């Protein structure tokens, strides 16, 4: 945690932290000076009835408190500003790191935990770094300064005053271990709550259509109750700790009143000196309490930081290549490719497929045959355990991942649109595309006329995940988004599944036009799409059982022909 504080907080924002430290020193010095002046008030002004000294002392005390107020503000302001800037940069780093992680991580990770990293965990880290560690350091110095002054006045009285300090430290240490343990449970439970919330919002149509609102509410309520109980345990230990520390401090006050009064009676200590001691001892609970809270914040921040650091230890199964691809032609070769998820059963076995520019390759097969895995491998979301995939004769493992993916226009089976305008969604893969290029891509995707019917045309908002559009409209905008990139390879996962026969025919004609000079892979179950393709690759059980044109495979009468005969391939 201290390393995080130094590298992410102090060094990048040294001017703010230095200003804060100086401000604290001035505020602390002003606070320490007050009891000394009050001692003079009693010993000089009151006992000698010196009104002039009284006026000077009162004005001095007021001035010192004003100085403390002003510089305490600058301390808090600069620490808060530095903390906010640190969390902003840390959140940016995490976001960038997250998007550079393997696709497989997101398949296995809990969405709630990932969101919790950016919200709850970072908030705890901010509390630890901008409040916890600074308070621990500066309030410890403040406490040491108070003790030094007290020892300077009367070391025997100071020893009596701080007799309970070792016991207080051991109590704080024990309590904070418990707080850290329950803090871990709380963060994990809160991550599950966030995940349920995200899942219920994304699946709201399913929940409502199956009338499962009460079930989802009950599930959410139980998880929230678990998180609340863990938080309550943390708060309960804190609630006991702080008053207990104050109680132990109060014992010190009681001791000093008793022992100090004896010293005054014996003439070893002046009334002003005893009063100054009392003021100092009254000031002790503030730094002790802040130190206690600081350690609690640090413990919780350490828990949060250890959770976030898990991102750094995720195994990288897809290693970045080094080669650029200045000009991609689009020759794709799968050679003896075998692949399995997490070293389990092979989902693809000994795959050999070749395709070149201008070819439309249809990939078809029953559910679980490995069609989606084929697409994932081409995009390098995963790497095969055996064999290699070549692009223009280069093993794609040797290419920079960005160089590979920039040359593939990918359309998913469930199109994803961002909550932005239509033109922003189409330009997503190529932000510099001109309006004319966007319009051309939309016309090819058979979506231009629909867009122009909207009140704001291409500037119309699509809503969250494209919720204001129909499934077919979303899919055609996704096709336009792929076309505008002008990739060497088109990779389409069921691109016509949500279209009627007429729109499907138009889109297939558009895809054929768009594939001129390009390589196109279409994962499909539509017979019309298969007929329009140059080659059909039939997958079954993770293996290529047949390859050829639609007509050749029909004549052959093998698995492909039987799939059509049994209705496994849609006639639409």
Phi-psi region for residue 224, left (φ > 0), alpha (ψ -120 to 50) or beta?
alpha
Least confident range from 2-11, 155-164, 484-493: namely: 2-11
Pairing outcome for strands 535-540 and 360-364: parallel
Average pLDDT on 349-372 reads 87
Least confident range from 219-233, 328-342, 391-405: namely: 219-233
Least confident range from 97-101, 201-205, 435-439: namely: 201-205
Pairing outcome for strands 332-340 and 346-355: antiparallel
Whole-number pLDDT of residue 540: 86
Please tell me which residue, 270 or 364, carries the higher pLDDT value. Answer: 364
What contacts 343, CB < 8 A, 6 or more positions away?
A: 385
Whole-number pLDDT of residue 217: 75
How does pLDDT run across 187-211, given as a tens digit for each residue? 666 666 776 676 666 666 556 655 6
Helix, strand, or coil (residue 8) = helix
DSSP classification of residue 185: H
Whole-number pLDDT of residue 179: 66
CATH class of the domain whose range is 332-565: alpha beta
How does pLDDT run across 392-413, given as a tens digit for each residue? 999 999 998 888 988 888 888 7
Asked if 506 and 446 touch (Cβ cutoff 8 Å), the reply is: yes
Average pLDDT on 257-266 reads 77
Average pLDDT on 348-365 reads 89
Q: CA 505, CA 340: separation in Å to the nearest integer?
A: 36
**Strand extents, DSSP E, 251-345:** 332-340
- Give the predicted TM-score (pTM) of the model: 0.69
Q: Mean pLDDT over all residues of the chain?
A: 79
Residue 388 pLDDT exceeds 90: yes
Which CA distances in Å does 13 have to 81, 139, 203, 518? Answer: 9, 21, 43, 51
Q: CA 76, CA 83: separation in Å to the nearest integer?
A: 10
Average pLDDT on 136-153 reads 79
Q: What is the location of CATH 3.40.50.300 in the chain?
A: 332-565
Helix, strand, or coil (residue 279) = helix
Phi-psi region for residue 401, left (φ > 0), alpha (ψ -120 to 50) or beta?
alpha
Average pLDDT on 157-171 reads 71
How does pLDDT run across 528-543, given as a tens digit for each residue? 778 878 899 998 888 8
Please tell me which residue, 391 or 499, carries the higher pLDDT value. Answer: 391
Please tell me which residue, 33 or 452, carries the higher pLDDT value. Answer: 452
Which of 140-144, 174-178, 227-231, 346-350: highest mean pLDDT? 346-350
Residue 160 pLDDT exceeds 90: no
Neighbours of 282 (CB within 10 A): 14
Would you state the torsion angle of the CA atoms of residues 270, 271, 272, 278, taken in this order, to the nearest 10 degrees?
A: 110
Please tell me which residue, 459 or 41, carries the higher pLDDT value. Answer: 459
Asked if 363 and 522 touch (Cβ cutoff 8 Å), the reply is: yes
Neighbours of 254 (CB within 10 A): 11
Whole-number pLDDT of residue 378: 92
Q: CA 310, CA 305: separation in Å to the nearest integer?
A: 9
Asked if 362 and 491 touch (Cβ cutoff 8 Å), the reply is: no
Percent of the chain with pLDDT over 90: 6
Whole-number pLDDT of residue 9: 67
Q: CA 376, CA 393: separation in Å to the nearest integer?
A: 19
Q: What is the location of CATH 1.20.1560.10 in the chain?
A: 2-313
Average pLDDT on 423-437 reads 89
Q: What is the topology classification, in CATH, of domain 2-313?
A: ABC transporter transmembrane region fold (1.20.1560)
Whole-number pLDDT of residue 333: 94
Neighbours of 474 (CB within 10 A): 22
Please tell me which residue, 466 or 357, carries the higher pLDDT value. Answer: 357
Token pair belonging to 51 = 């009104």
Helix H or strand E encompassing 251? helix 213-265
Asked if 331 and 519 touch (Cβ cutoff 8 Å), the reply is: yes
What's the pLDDT band for 484 if we cut at 50, 70, 90? confident
């Amino acid at each position: 945690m201290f390393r995080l504080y130094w590298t992410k907080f102090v060094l990048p924002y040294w001017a703010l932290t230095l200003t804060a430290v100086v401000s604290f020193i001035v505020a602390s010095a002003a606070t320490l000076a007050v009891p000394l002046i009050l001692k003079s008030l009693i010993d000089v002004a009151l006992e000698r009835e010196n009104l002039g000294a009284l006026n000077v002392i009162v004005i001095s005390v007021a001035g010192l408190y004003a100085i403390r107020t002003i510089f305490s503000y600058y301390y808090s302001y600069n620490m808060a500003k530095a903390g906010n800037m640190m969390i902003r940069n840390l959140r940016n780093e995490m976001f960038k790191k997250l998007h550079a992680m393997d696709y497989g991580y997101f398949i296995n990770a809990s969405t709630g935990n990932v969101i919790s990293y950016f919200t709850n965990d970072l908030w705890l880290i901010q509390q630890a770094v901008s409040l916890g560690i600074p308070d621990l350091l500066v309030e410890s110095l403040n406490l040491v300064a108070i003790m030094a002054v007290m020892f300077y006045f009367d070391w025997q009285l100071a020893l009596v005053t701080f007799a309970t300090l070792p016991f207080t430290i051991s109590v704080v240490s024990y309590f904070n271990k418990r707080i850290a343990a329950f803090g871990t449970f709380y963060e994990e439970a809160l991550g599950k709550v966030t995940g349920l919330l995200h899942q219920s919002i994304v699946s709201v149509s399913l929940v409502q259509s199956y009338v499962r609102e009460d079930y989802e509410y009950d599930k959410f309520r139980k998880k929230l109750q678990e998180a609340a109980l863990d938080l309550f345990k943390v708060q309960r230990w804190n609630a006991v700790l702080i008053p207990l520390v104050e109680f132990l401090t109060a014992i010190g006050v009681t001791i000093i009143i008793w022992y100090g009064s004896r010293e005054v009676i014996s003439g070893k200590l002046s009334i002003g000196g005893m009063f100054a001691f009392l003021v100092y001892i009254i000031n002790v609970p503030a730094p002790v309490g802040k130190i206690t809270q600081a350690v609690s914040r640090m413990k919780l921040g350490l828990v949060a930081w250890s959770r976030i650091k898990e991102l750094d230890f995720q195994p990288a199964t897809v290693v970045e290549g080094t080669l650029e691809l200045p000009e991609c032609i689009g020759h794709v070769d799968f050679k003896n490719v075998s692949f399995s998820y997490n070293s389990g059963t092979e989902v693809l076995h000994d795959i050999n497929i070749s395709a070149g520019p201008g070819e439309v390759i249809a990939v078809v097969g029953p559910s679980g045959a490995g069609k989606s895995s084929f697409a994932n491998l081409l995009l390098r979301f995963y790497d095969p355990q055996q064999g290699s995939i070549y692009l223009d004769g280069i093993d794609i493992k040797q290419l920079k991942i960005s160089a590979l993916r920039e040359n593939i226009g990918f359309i998913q089976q469930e199109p994803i649109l961002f909550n932005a305008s239509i033109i922003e969604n189409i330009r997503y893969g190529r932000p510099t595309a001109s309006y004319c290029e966007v319009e051309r891509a939309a016309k090819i995707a058979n979506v231009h006329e629909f867009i122009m019917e909207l009140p704001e045309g291409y500037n119309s908002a699509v809503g969250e995940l494209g919720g204001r559009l129909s499934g077919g409209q979303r899919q055609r905008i996704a096709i336009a988004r792929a076309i505008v990139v002008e990739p060497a390879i088109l990779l389409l996962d069921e691109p016509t599944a949500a279209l009627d026969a007429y729109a499907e025919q138009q889109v297939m004609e558009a895809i054929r036009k768009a594939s001129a000079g390009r390589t196109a892979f279409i994962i499909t179950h539509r017979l019309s799409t298969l007929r329009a393709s140059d080659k059909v690759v039939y997958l079954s059980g993770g293996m290529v059982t047949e390859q050829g044109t639609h007509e050749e495979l029909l004549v052959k009468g093998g698995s492909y022909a039987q799939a059509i005969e049994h209705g496994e391939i849609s006639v639409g």
